[in-house]
C-alpha cells in the first residue's frame, strides 16, 4: 500500500508541476501580447499640422529689437494700419513686442468650434515671452487654407535673469504654450463611417506581424475580411453579414491582441555611445579580443640653482619625463560559440573590460566578418 500511495503522490506532484509550467508559459506569452490599436494606424485617421505667424505683445522690455529685426517692425506697422493707426513714417523704439511662429496639430475628426493647444516660439532676438499675449493669428494648413485661429496669454515654463556679473536661466524662455488657445474654424472632410474598406498601416513594418494581425481579425470575424498586402499594410473590408459600419468594425478589432515580431536589430548612436540590441540578436562562432596601446607621458620639471653666495652659476630648469606604456597585455581573447544570445554577448564584452564606445566598433567588426546575425542601424 505504501508504494501505491507514493506512486499516486508522485503522479499528483508531476501533474501539478505540468499545470504550473503551462500557466507560466501562458503568462509569459500573455505578457508579450499587444493590442492591434497600439501597433497600427487606420488610413485617413491622422493629425494635420498647422502653422501661423503672429505677434506677442505685453512683454516687459524683452521683445525684439526693431532696429535688428525689420520684419517685426513691418508687422507692427501693418497691424496698426488695419486698426486705423498710421505710423509708417514714425520711429518706433518699443521692445515689448516679439514676432513669433505659432504651430499646432489638428486632430482627426475635430469639429468646428473645438479648441486645440498651440505652441508659440520666438522668431527674432526677443529675450523672453513671459507675460506676453498672442494677438489673433490665423493657422494655415498645407493647402494654404485657414483651419484655426489662435489668441491668448502665453505660458512660458522657462525664465532668464541677468545681472552685471552673471546670468541665470532655466528652460527656454523664448518658447511657450497656450492651452486650448486656438478655435477650429474649418473641418477636414473624411467620411469614415461610409467606407466599406480601409487599410491598417503598421508602425513597425514586418511580414510576420502583418500576417498575425490579419489572421487574428479573420478568426474573430469568422470571415476573410483582412488581407496582408505587404509588411506595412493590411486591407480591411466589412464582412457581408456584419451589421455595423466601419467605425464599429474598427472598434471590435482594435482590442484583439497579437504577438508582434521584429527582425533582429542593433541600434547604435555613436554620438552618445548608446547601444540597444533586440532579444533575437545572435552571434555565430567568432573569436574576439580587445586591446589598446596606451602611452602616458608625465612631465615633472625641476629647478636647479646655485648655492647661496656662490660666485658662479645660473638658475636653470631641468626636464624630467616619466613615460609609461600599456600594451594591453592583460587582455584575453574570448571565443563566442554558435548562437550566442544577447546576454552572453554583453557578459563576454564586459568581462573583457570593454566600454560602450569600444563595443560599437566591435559590433561593426563582427558584422563585417559576417558573424552578427542582425541588422545594424546607425542613428
Encode the chain (379 residues) as per-residue pLDDT tens digits: 444 544 554 455 545 555 554 444 444 444 578 999 999 999 888 899 999 999 999 998 889 988 888 888 888 888 888 888 888 877 788 889 999 999 999 998 899 999 999 999 999 899 999 999 999 999 999 999 999 999 999 999 876 666 666 677 677 899 999 999 999 999 888 888 888 999 999 998 999 999 999 999 999 999 999 999 999 999 999 998 888 889 999 999 999 999 988 777 888 887 777 777 777 777 777 666 656 545 455 656 676 667 776 666 677 776 765 656 555 555 555 555 666 665 676 666 667 666 777 777 777 777 787 777 778 887 7
DSSP character for 218?
Answer: H
Q: Where does a domain end: 161, 184, 207?
A: 184
pLDDT at position 322, please?
64
Q: Where does a domain end: 184, 217, 235?
A: 184
Q: Are residues 333 and 206 both part of a single domain?
A: no
pLDDT at position 235, please?
94
Q: Are residues 331 and 225 both part of a single domain?
A: no
Cα-flanking dihedrals φ and ψ of residue 26, to 5°?
A: -65, -40
Q: Are residues 132 and 220 both part of a single domain?
A: no
* Helices (H), ranges, 169-245: 207-221
H or E segment to which residue 367 belongs: helix 356-368
Considering the domain boundaries, does residue 28 fall inside one? no
Considering the domain boundaries, does residue 29 fall inside one? no
Q: In angstroms, rounded to a whole number, what is the distance separating the alpha carbons of residues 95 and 73?
A: 11
349 and 283 Cβ atoms separated by less than 8 Å: no
Q: How far is CA 82 from CA 57, 77, 85, 262, 370, in A?
A: 16, 9, 7, 58, 69
Considering the domain boundaries, does residue 33 fall inside one? no
pLDDT at position 193, please?
83
Q: Where does a domain end: 156, 184, 212?
A: 184
* CA angle, residues 189, 190, 193, in degrees to nearest 5: 135
Considering the domain boundaries, does residue 352 fall inside one? yes
344, with CB counted inside 10 A (0-12, 13-18, 19+), is: middle
Cell matching residue 33: 501580447
Cα-flanking dihedrals φ and ψ of residue 23, to 5°?
A: -65, -40
Cα-flanking dihedrals φ and ψ of residue 60, to 5°?
A: -90, 65
Q: In angstroms, rounded to a whole number, what is the distance separating the alpha carbons of residues 302 and 124?
A: 56
What's the total number of domains in the chain? 3
Q: Are residues 271 and 160 both part of a single domain?
A: no
pLDDT at position 220, please?
92
Q: Are residues 142 and 217 both part of a single domain?
A: no
**Other CB atoms within 10 Å distance of the CB of residue 184:** 21
pLDDT at position 21, please?
46
pLDDT at position 293, please?
46
pLDDT at position 303, please?
67
Q: Are residues 55 and 147 both part of a single domain?
A: yes
Classify 357 as helix, strand or coil.
helix
Q: Are residues 121 and 64 both part of a single domain?
A: yes
Considering the domain boundaries, does residue 163 fall inside one? yes
Domain that residue 365 falls in: 266-303+319-378
pTM for this entry: 0.67
Q: Are residues 168 and 83 both part of a single domain?
A: yes
Bridge partners (DSSP) of residue 236 are: 198, 226
Q: Are residues 163 and 253 both part of a single domain?
A: no
Q: Are residues 77 and 200 both part of a single domain?
A: no
Considering the domain boundaries, does residue 5 fall inside one? no
Q: Which of 197, 148, 154 is nearest to 48 (CA)?
A: 148
Considering the domain boundaries, does residue 217 fall inside one? yes
Residues in the chain: 379
pLDDT at position 267, please?
82
pLDDT at position 12, please?
53
Q: Are residues 196 and 285 both part of a single domain?
A: no
Q: In angstroms, rounded to a whole number, what is the distance separating the alpha carbons of residues 93 and 87?
A: 12
Classify 17 as helix, strand or coil.
helix
Q: Are residues 175 and 195 both part of a single domain?
A: no
Considering the domain boundaries, does residue 310 fall inside one? no
pLDDT at position 25, please?
41
Q: In angstroms, rounded to a whole number, what is the distance separating the alpha carbons of residues 379 and 377?
A: 7
Give first-to-last CA distance, the chain, whole Å. 70
Q: How far is CA 345 from CA 19, 272, 289, 336, 351, in A?
A: 34, 21, 13, 8, 10
Amino acid at each position: 500500500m505504501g508504494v501505491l500511495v507514493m506512486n499516486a503522490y508522485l503522479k499528483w506532484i508531476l501533474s501539478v508541476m505540468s499545470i504550473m509550467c503551462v500557466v507560466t508559459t501562458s503568462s509569459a506569452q500573455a505578457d508579450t501580447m499587444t493590442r492591434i490599436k497600439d501597433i497600427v494606424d487606420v488610413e485617413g485617421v491622422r493629425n494635420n499640422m498647422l502653422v501661423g505667424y503672429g505677434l506677442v505683445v505685453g512683454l516687459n522690455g524683452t521683445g525684439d529689437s526693431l532696429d535688428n529685426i525689420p520684419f517685426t517692425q513691418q508687422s507692427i506697422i501693418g497691424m496698426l494700419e488695419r486698426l486705423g493707426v498710421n505710423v509708417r513714417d514714425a520711429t518706433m523704439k518699443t521692445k515689448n513686442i516679439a514676432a513669433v511662429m505659432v504651430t499646432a496639430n489638428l486632430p482627426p475628426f475635430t469639429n468646428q468650434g473645438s479648441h486645440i493647444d498651440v505652441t508659440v516660439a520666438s522668431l527674432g532676438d526677443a529675450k523672453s515671452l513671459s507675460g506676453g499675449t498672442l494677438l489673433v493669428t490665423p493657422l494655415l494648413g498645407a493647402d494654404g487654407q485657414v483651419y484655426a485661429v489662435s489668441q491668448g496669454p502665453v505660458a512660458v515654463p522657462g525664465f532668464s535673469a541677468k545681472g552685471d556679473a552673471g546670468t541665470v536661466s532655466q528652460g527656454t524662455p523664448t518658447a511657450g504654450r497656450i492651452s486650448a488657445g486656438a478655435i477650429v474654424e474649418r473641418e477636414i472632410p473624411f467620411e469614415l463611417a461610409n467606407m466599406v474598406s480601409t487599410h491598417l498601416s503598421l508602425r513597425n513594418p514586418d511580414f510576420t506581424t502583418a500576417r498575425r494581425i490579419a489572421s487574428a481579425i479573420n478568426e474573430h470575424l469568422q470571415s476573410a475580411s483582412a488581407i496582408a498586402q505587404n509588411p506595412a499594410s493590411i486591407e480591411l473590408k466589412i464582412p457581408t453579414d456584419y451589421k455595423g459600419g466601419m467605425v464599429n468594425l474598427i472598434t471590435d478589432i482594435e482590442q484583439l491582441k497579437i504577438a508582434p515580431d521584429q527582425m533582429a536589430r542593433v541600434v547604435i548612436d555613436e554620438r552618445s555611445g548608446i547601444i540597444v540590441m533586440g532579444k533575437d540578436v545572435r552571434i555565430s562562432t567568432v573569436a574576439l579580443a580587445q586591446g589598446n596601446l596606451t602611452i602616458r607621458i608625465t612631465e615633472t620639471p625641476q629647478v636647479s640653482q646655485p648655492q647661496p653666495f656662490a660666485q658662479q652659476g645660473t638658475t636653470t630648469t631641468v626636464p624630467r619625463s616619466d613615460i609609461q606604456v600599456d600594451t594591453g597585455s592583460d587582455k584575453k581573447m574570448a571565443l563566442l560559440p554558435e548562437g550566442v544570445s544577447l546576454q552572453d554577448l554583453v557578459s563576454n564584452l564586459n568581462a573583457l573590460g570593454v566600454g560602450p564606445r569600444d563595443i560599437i566598433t566591435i559590433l561593426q567588426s563582427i558584422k563585417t566578418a559576417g558573424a552578427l546575425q542582425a541588422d545594424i542601424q546607425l542613428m
